[in-house]
Amino acid sequence: MEQMNEKKIRWNISKAMACVYQALNNSRLKIKKTKQYTSAMENLKALYKLNQTQVWLLCIICERYFEDDDSTSMKNIAYTIAVPVMTIMSWNKERDKLEEMGFLEHRGSHNAVQPVSEFRESLCNNVEFIPQGKKELDEIEFLRTFARMYEDRREEEKSARVIQRELRHFEDNNKNLKMVERVMAEVKQADHRFFLYDVTHDVIKGDESGLNTTISDLYDNEDRFTVAQQMMEETHELFERGFLEFSKKGNMSEATITLTDKGKKLVLGEKAFLFEDSISDKNLIKTDSIKEKRLFYSKENQREIDRLKAALQEEKLKGIQNRLRDEGLPVGVAVLLYGAPGTGKTESVMQIAKETGRSIVHVDISEAKSAWFGESEKRIKKIFTSYRNACELAEKKGELMPILLFNEADALISKRKEDTSGNCAQTENAIQNIILEELENLKGIFIATTNLASNMDSAFERRFLFKIKFENPSTEAKTSIWMNKLDWLDKEAATEFARDYDFSGGQIDNIVRKIAMNEVISGERPALSDIHDMCKCEKIDNPDGTRRMGFCL
């Protein structure tokens, strides 16, 4: 490392420090002031502009570091010179000055220090070292040091009372950090702040925090059980105020916790977005991955779809939201696509996203529910939180706001249960309340599809800005679908299929798949009569009243 002070020293600095150390070792402070010792002391005091005690400390700390590659506490120093620790308690001030001057740095607990790397290098090269003053910790290093202090407490057998005292001292010394300033202003109880720092350190490493081990880091004896009970019951301040959440809940030894997005914003500030929950690749459908398809609608549906597409074009959407905001109205765009199965609701969302250049956050409804009481509500809340984060991240990257899709949302927006005596009914009603609240405060684009709009709770109806009903296509639309799917089919045959079979687009897709399978199996295209047979097999309830069995080709 290049030094600002590459001045070679004529005498050997490390030998001089070794000489002083040897005089101090096991001396009980009854030092034999030999000629060599006196010369070494005078040279070191003059070189570094230090007093006698500071030189002694520096020599002992450096010797122990190079001997054991370890940090040194006041207890270690007292042991080295064979005196009780209380004898040298006044040396604490001198050690702190050495740290302020830039010779030493904390390593582990408050009482352990080591020479800074630049000073160590100067000793190895026998060059002058001019300290640059104490280095200010950044926020990440603050959290790392905090974690080391926890780890060292086990080795040094420090009680919770001692480590918390040292942590308060360390925190006070770093009040200048914006992170510490924010957390101290918001969380008044010191051990609660320390708990947040500990969990945050795990977050920046990409880990989850085991509840049991995290509590053990900071508390002893009965305090552990008190805090553990508060955490498990979520009555602890950090849970009640929304800074912590369970990433996995079970018994005490299995439970893991992490920061909520609110907690990340509190501790990490502007850096929080780097660690906020993102949408998993499994749930994110990117625009480029959506295959373009031609869809056929009735004239009325086409008008509604075209209006929705226009509203979701970026410039139009910005204008609409600005106008709504100016008038004090909700700015989110919530859309309900409802109707019979197979009528193209989901595919319409895909094509709308494709045409407007937006990705889709696709919610798996089955994953939104949990066997644990109270967990389903948290998962639903987290879905909307993650979506907001995805929108903010897209804005930072200059990308378009994605669409949040609740496909087949019947189970989440159905009529509320009047009998709320059971846990299941309470959970479903609580989920609906969360969704209603989120839609009221929505700033993005939400689309829900359902086959059972008649079972939808009335409270949801006004939350949807667009409500588009999908019915089975008209004969004209079905004719176009048949011809689009089977380009070798003439209009007369396509019209006949459209007229004779009241199929949805999804059912026509099934027939097309059967035709493709038939061509692979038999090596030839099926006759029109064979396609009619396939169509007759498609619906379970047949007009002729016969019961069909097996798979028709």
Question: What digits encode the pLDDT tens for the residues 23-39?
Answer: 999 999 999 999 999 99
Write down the pLDDT at residue 549.
Answer: 36
Unique residue bearing structure tokens 């408050």: 110
Domain ranges of the chain: 13-135, 143-274, 284-470, 475-538
Q: How many contiguous H segments (helices) and E segments (strands) does the chain have?
A: 25, 12
Q: What percent of the chain has pLDDT over 70?
A: 89
Q: Buried b vs exposed e over 27-62: b needs ≥16 C-beta within 10 Å?
A: eeeeeeeeeebeebbebbeeebebeebbbbbbbbbb
- pLDDT for 234-283, tens place per residue? 999 999 999 998 888 878 888 899 998 889 989 998 887 777 665 556 67
User: 299-312 and 345-356 are packed helices; what angle lies between their axes, rounded to 10 degrees?
Assistant: 40
Question: Which two three-digit tokens encode residue 298?
Answer: 């009735």
What's the pTM? 0.54
9 contacts: CB under 8 Å, gap ≥ 6 = 47, 126, 127, 128
Residue 447 clears pLDDT 90, i.e. is over it: yes
Write down the pLDDT at residue 458.
Answer: 78
DSSP sequence for 409-449: THHHHBPPPS---SHHHHHHHHHHHHHHHHHHT--SEEEEE
Q: Decide: 239 and 246 in contact? Cβ < 8 Å.
A: no
Identify which has the larger pLDDT, 299 or 243.
Answer: 243
- pLDDT for 357-374, tens place per residue? 999 998 877 666 554 446
Write down the pLDDT at residue 395.
Answer: 84
Kindly report the CATH number that applies to the domain delimited by 284-470: 3.40.50.300
The pLDDT-based confidence of 40 (bands split at 50, 70, 90) is very high
DSSP letter at 544 equals T
546 contacts: CB under 8 Å, gap ≥ 6 = none
Q: Which of 237, 150, 240 lies closest to 194, judged by CA?
A: 150
Distance (Å, rounded) from C-alpha 541 to C-alpha 549? 12
Mean confidence (pLDDT) of the chain: 85
Q: Burial of 182 by CB count in 10 Å (0-12 exposed, 13-18 middle, 19+ buried)?
A: middle
Distance of CA 518 to the CA centre of its chain: 49
Distance (Å, rounded) from C-alpha 483 to C-alpha 485? 6
The pLDDT-based confidence of 2 (bands split at 50, 70, 90) is very low
Helix or strand (DSSP H, E) at 361: strand 360-363
* Helix locations, 138-233, DSSP H: 139-155, 160-172, 178-186, 190-204, 211-218, 221-232
Distance (Å, rounded) from C-alpha 192 to C-alpha 189? 5
Write down the pLDDT at residue 551.
Answer: 36
Residue 495 clears pLDDT 80, i.e. is over it: yes
Residue 151 clears pLDDT 80, i.e. is over it: no
Question: Which two three-digit tokens encode residue 349?
Answer: 């969302």
- pLDDT for 177-213, tens place per residue? 999 999 999 999 999 999 999 999 998 888 888 999 8
Distance (Å, rounded) from C-alpha 87 to C-alpha 131? 29
Write down the pLDDT at residue 319.
Answer: 92
Instruction: Report the pLDDT averaged over residues 390-413.
Output: 85
Identify which has the larger pLDDT, 199 or 386.
Answer: 199
Half-sphere exposure of 138 (CA within 13 A, CB side): 3
Write down the pLDDT at residue 6.
Answer: 57
DSSP sequence for 505-526: HHHHHHHHHHHHHHHHHHSSPP
Unique residue bearing structure tokens 């086959």: 451
Write down the pLDDT at residue 519.
Answer: 87
Q: Decide: 220 and 154 in contact? Cβ < 8 Å.
A: no
Write down the pLDDT at residue 371.
Answer: 44
Least confident residue range of 73-77, 148-152, 508-512, 514-518: 148-152
Question: Which two three-digit tokens encode residue 105?
Answer: 């740095």
- pLDDT for 45-60, tens place per residue? 999 999 999 999 999 9
Q: Decide: 90 and 77 in contact? Cβ < 8 Å.
A: no
Q: Decide: 355 and 361 in contact? Cβ < 8 Å.
A: no
Write down the pLDDT at residue 368.
Answer: 64
Write down the pLDDT at residue 374.
Answer: 60
Write down the pLDDT at residue 7.
Answer: 72
Write down the pLDDT at residue 332.
Answer: 92
Instruction: Give one word for 157, left, alpha or beta, with left for phi > 0 and alpha for psi -120 to 50.
Output: left
Instruction: Report the pLDDT averaged over residues 465-469.
Output: 89
Is the CATH code 3.30.300.30 the one for domain 13-135?
no
Residue 182 phi/psi, 5-degree rounding, is -65, -50
Instruction: Report the pLDDT averaged over residues 523-548.
Output: 74
Q: Decide: 201 and 144 in contact? Cβ < 8 Å.
A: yes
Instruction: Report the pLDDT averaged over residues 333-350.
Output: 89
Question: Which two three-digit tokens encode residue 72?
Answer: 């040194």
Distance (Å, rounded) from C-alpha 78 to C-alpha 88? 7
Identify which has the larger pLDDT, 281 or 462.
Answer: 462
* Greatest CA separation for the chain: 120
Residue 133 clears pLDDT 70, i.e. is over it: no
Question: Which two three-digit tokens encode residue 180?
Answer: 């510490």
Over its C-alpha atoms, the chain yields an Rg (Å, rounded) of 36
Instruction: Give one word for 334, left, alpha or beta, with left for phi > 0 and alpha for psi -120 to 50.
Output: beta
484 contacts: CB under 8 Å, gap ≥ 6 = 294, 296
The pLDDT-based confidence of 546 (bands split at 50, 70, 90) is very low
Helix or strand (DSSP H, E) at 109: strand 109-115
Write down the pLDDT at residue 322.
Answer: 92
Residue 413 clears pLDDT 80, i.e. is over it: no
Q: What angle is formed at CA 400 by the lines to CA 433 and CA 354, rounded to 5 degrees?
A: 95
Write down the pLDDT at residue 228.
Answer: 92
Write down the pLDDT at residue 545.
Answer: 42
Distance (Å, rounded) from C-alpha 513 to C-alpha 365? 28
Least confident residue range of 263-277, 285-299, 328-342: 263-277
